[in-house]
Structure 1
Amino acid sequence: MIQRTIKQLSEMISVINDYQSFENKTIQGVCIDTRNLVMGSLYVPIIGQNFDGHQFVEEAINQGVAAALWQRNVPNPPVHLPILIVEDTLEALQQLAKSYRHQLNLKVIGITGSNGKTTTKDMVTNLLSLQYKVQKTEGNYNNHIGLPLTILQLEEDTEMSVLEMGMSGRGEIDFLSRLASPDAVIITNIGESHLLDLGSREGIAEAKLEILNGLKANGKIIYFGDEPLLRDKLDHYDGDATLFTFGKTESNTIYPTEITTTDSGSYFKVNNIDEVYHLPVLGTHNIMNALSAMLVANEFHIPFSKINEGFKSLKLTNMRMELLEGANGVKIINDAYNASPTSVKAAIELVSSLPGYEKKVLVLGDMLELGPDEVDFHYEIGKALHPEKIDLVYTFGKLGNEIARGARETLQENQVQTFTNKQTLIEELKKQSKPNTLVLVKASRGMKLEEVVVGLQT
């Protein structure tokens, strides 16, 4: 993590007050929350809609932080304490991270996309770790506050940093990319998330492509080549970066030639390589994420022959295609972290294709932030279900009712049920919970369907 004297900090951000009396004091790390203070760190008070971190500055210093920032327009700064007055504390945090990033001798991989960012981040980190010291975005620290904090956590001897870049509107990826200055970027796909804010998939594609704006000279661009919205834009790219594509079709730089799906993951081969790769992660859609990680790793001198070694120890962030065992031997796929039409279809395709189960049950909740067509998106998910591949569909939430409405057009009435109470849903699921039964739990994060997973395990 960052370790600098106050004097050095003043050369990285613009400080307004006189700090000479404590300029030789050293800070180690940065924190923004007094509930998670780090001794000797720099406390940055953030001003939000319903809170102001400045009210905790004295408490933070009394608890052992080395110094704190203070925003100029906030009255009554505690001048008897080691504080650095800045124009804007959030902007100072971001500038500090940007300065620190350029002081480090490392390579940065930036990852964005509608789905699969975190999974791809985990895969890239595992593969690069075969040869380098790597640090990655932890949790959901992928926005205008989280990304600077992630960068400031990087160790001086870190060789590779894998940074996830999230967004909800235009300009956000542009800002993050310019802050992080990536050496290579991955765009996993273009889905329907954030249609509410961006209006169309075209708008989403344009927002995701902002990740190119901070790309270093002679960088590398790796993107999902089966997506026309990306192909159309990048076919006319005239920058100095090298472009690579991944996807299912033979027009891509890398694509699968054979795929075998099991409940322990996937086995697959790719063009021009004899190796059979084992990805210990459920879902053929995750092979696409793996292909992008393989391209990045190979460009940074990890040979394709070592990729299996990196995949072997792969463990994804929780609630992403986790295969768990519940009470009575039922198998549960916990994919409750997030959902969009694209990711829900991929999860259903996985469940449909897995062999060895007598009964397959879908538990599907609302997909959020889909804009004015949200009802149609949910209805189409249900309508596309195949009666020979899915036995039961349980939906949760107001929009989940639309999935059920569509499902009733292809499945029998007794195969579809809607729920508004999670405990009732859990009790009904437990009646179906037997060995050789597979249950998929999938919804947007706000629906908190991981509570259903926990209920099935007890």
Structure 2
Amino acid sequence: MVAKFSLDDVCLSAGGVLIQGERPEGKGAIVYSLEKIRPGDWFIAFSDSIKDGHDELKEASERGACGAIVKRRSRYAYAPQGFPLVAVSDTRTAYFDLIGSYCKWVKPRVIGVTGTSGRRSAIFLMAHLLREKYSVHVSLVQGLNWMGCAESILEMPEKSEVLIFEAQAIERGEIAQIGGALEPEIAVITECRHPLSSASRDRAMAELYCEILETLSLEDKARAVIFDDSSAARERAREILSPEHLILHSQSNTEDLDASLTESEIWSAVQVAQLLGLEENIIKEVLAELCSEEQVNA
């Protein structure tokens, strides 16, 4: 399953305007890699420090793209005459707008997970727990490339009930962009520590990773689950959200669990499972099974 968009979908979701060519018929997937283009797909032209997708418009047309989503410019030197072009103010922003539009159409409960460590394990455990009750789709970052997570969201099955996405960033604004598109109901921060910890570095990490809290849904049930116990992360969280939206790790809210469950990834996954209505006995059974499997594999 891959999300597909008509010209109207692209224009309405991403603020695009058809500036060249005839109106394409039907719907196509959104593709940024020439190698992945199939006849009828939309090619979206990204630019970075290495290459400019606008230089590939001719090849995209030759590979069967129904049209291209391009950044608004005066000229498109490499676009064949008559090849449909939809101009937007920024193609990366448009891509996230399209992702957000598809997510709103599928309507899963959305969980965003970030942190410098423990987030991937937390995601896998959350998915394992939640699949006891829901149809779950997981979208992960590939290396340091945000595109992998974004592309996977557009492959989410229509019947998905829960979407768990991984948010990673090198620069400010990257987590806010994907979080802003998806507006998670639950935002999870495992840990956000600099490897060479200091007050200023921890504060910078908190500012970077707590961006996800600013994208949290405005619904009353929205919650932030934060394991990190650094003063920088907690101060930042309290500046962004009111207390009723925060679930902060402490010994008191894990004292009934096995001591091993106080690790960031396990504690975070359990909190999310509880928020989404999994019964405590089911959570404990699943965790016990996982522990047994680990012992056997060891």
TM-score (norm 1): 0.56
1:17 aligned counterpart, secondary structure:
strand
- 2:187 & 2:196 partners in 1: Cα distance? 21
Where has structure 1 moved over 6 Å in runs of 4 or more? Answer: none
Q: Which residue of 1 aligns with 2:159?
A: 157
- Against the structure 1 CA distance between its residues 50 and 258, is the aligned structure 2 distance closer, same or farther, given a 3 Å change threshold? closer
Q: 1:115 to 1:75 in 2, by over 3 A?
A: same
> For residues 58 and 111 of structure 1, do their structure 2 counterparts lie closer, same or farther at Cα, with a shift above 3 Å needed?
same
Partner of 1:109: 111
Q: Cα 1:230–1:136, aligned 2, differ >3 Å: closer, same or farther?
A: same
Contact 1:184 1:215 in 2 (8 A): yes
1: distance between equivalents of 2:33 and 2:171?
A: 26
Which consecutive residues of structure 2, in runs of 5 or more, have no partner in the other structure? none
**C-alpha deviation, 1:235, in angstroms:** 5.5
Q: 1:166 and 1:82 mapped to 2: Cα distance?
A: 34
- Report the Cα distance in structure 2 between the residues aligned to 1:199 and 1:30, rounded to whole angstroms: 41
User: How far apart are the structure 2 equivalents of 1:46 and 1:237?
Assistant: 32
Of the three residues 281, 285, 291, the one matched with 2:267 is 291
Q: Give the superposition deviation at 1:257.
A: 5.2
Which has the higher mean CA deviation after the structures are superposed, 163-172 or 112-121? 163-172
**Is 2:3 aligned against 1:2?**
yes
- In structure 1, what residue type is equivalent to 2:106? L
Q: Which has the larger radius of gyration?
A: 1
Q: Tell me which residue corresponds to 2:134.
A: 132
Contact 1:221 1:241 in 2 (8 A): no
| Aligned: 1:68 with 2:71 | no
Distance 2:171 2:72 in 1: 29
Whole-angstrom CA distance in 2 between matches of 1:148 and 1:137: 7
Q: Which SS does the other structure have where 1:80 is aligned?
A: coil
Cα distance between partner residues in 2 of 1:68 and 1:52: 13
Q: Which residue identity is paired with 1:61?
A: S
CA shift for structure 1 position 48: 1.4
1:56, 1:255 → 2: CA distance?
A: 58
SS of equivalent to 2:18? coil
Instruction: Give the equivalent residue in structure 2 for 1:444.
Output: none
User: Using a 3 Å threshold, how does the CA distance of structure 1 residues 166 and 256 change in structure 2: closer, same or farther?
Assistant: farther
- Given that 2:189 and 2:228 are in contact with CA atoms closer than 8 Å, whether structure 1 keeps it comes out as no
Distance, in Å, in 2 between the alignment partners of 1:140 and 1:92 is 21
Structure 1 pair 296–58 and aligned structure 2 pair: CA distance change class (3 A): same
Match of 1:121 among 120, 123, 142: 123
Distance in 1 separating the partners of 2:5 and 2:68: 13
**How far apart are 1:100 and its partner, in Å?**
2.5
Tell me which amino acid in the other structure corresponds to 1:160.
V
1:200 is paired with a residue whose SS is helix
Aligned to 2:52: 52
Instruction: Give, in angstroms, the shift of residue 144 of structure 1.
Output: 5.4
CA gap 1:34/1:301 in 2 versus in 1, 3 angstroms: same
Query: Per the alignment, in what secondary structure is the counterpart of residue 9 of structure 2?
Result: helix
Question: How far off is 1:244 after superposition?
Answer: 1.9
CA–CA separation in structure 2 for the residues paired with 1:128 and 1:228: 31
Q: Which has the higher contact order (CA 8 A, sep 6+)?
A: 2
Match of 1:223 in 2: 226
Matched residue type, 1:227: S
**CA distance in structure 2 between the partners assigned to 1:39 and 1:137 by the alignment:** 25
C-alpha separation in 2, matches of 1:156 and 1:111: 22
Counterparts of 2:24 and 2:54 in 1: how far apart (Å)?
21
> Cα distance, 1:160 vs. partner?
0.8
Contact 1:141 1:147 in 2 (8 A): no
- Unpaired runs of 5+ residues, structure 1, are 260-267, 271-284, 315-321, 326-330, 332-458
In the alignment, what sits opposite 1:429?
none
Aligned to 2:277: 301
* Residue 71 of structure 1: how far off its partner (Å): 2.6
1:9-28 to structure 2, matched below 5 A, reads 9-18=10-19, 21-27=22-28
* 8 Å Cα contact 2:31-2:43 kept in structure 1: yes
C-alpha distance 10-19 of structure 1, shift in aligned 2 (>3 A): farther
Q: Name the amino acid aligned to 1:201.
A: D
Q: Distance in 1 between matches of 2:141 and 2:228?
A: 28
- 1:243 alignment partner in structure 2: 246
Of 164-173 and 229-238, deviating more is 229-238
What is the deviation of 1:305?
Answer: 1.6
Corresponding letter in the other structure for 1:34 = L
Question: d(CA) in 1 for partners of 2:144 and 2:160?
Answer: 19
**TM-score relative to the length of structure 2:** 0.82
- Which moves more between the two structures, 29-38 or 184-193? 29-38
Picking from 98, 101, 122, the partner of 2:100 is 98
Q: CA RMSD in A?
A: 3.3
The letter of the residue matching 1:301 is G
How far the C-alpha of 1:173 sits from its partner, in A, is: 2.4
Cα 1:115/1:71, change in 2 over 3 Å: same
Residue 174 and residue 124 in structure 1: after superposition, are their counterparts in 2 closer, same or farther (change >3 A)? same
Give the number of aligned pairs.
289
Aligned ranges 1:56-455 → 2 under 5 Å: 56-73=56-73, 75-76=76-77, 77-140=79-142, 145-193=147-195, 199-217=200-218, 218=220, 219-224=222-227, 226-234=229-237, 239=242, 241-246=244-249, 250-251=251-252, 253-255=253-255, 258-259=258-259, 268=260, 287-307=263-283, 310-311=286-287
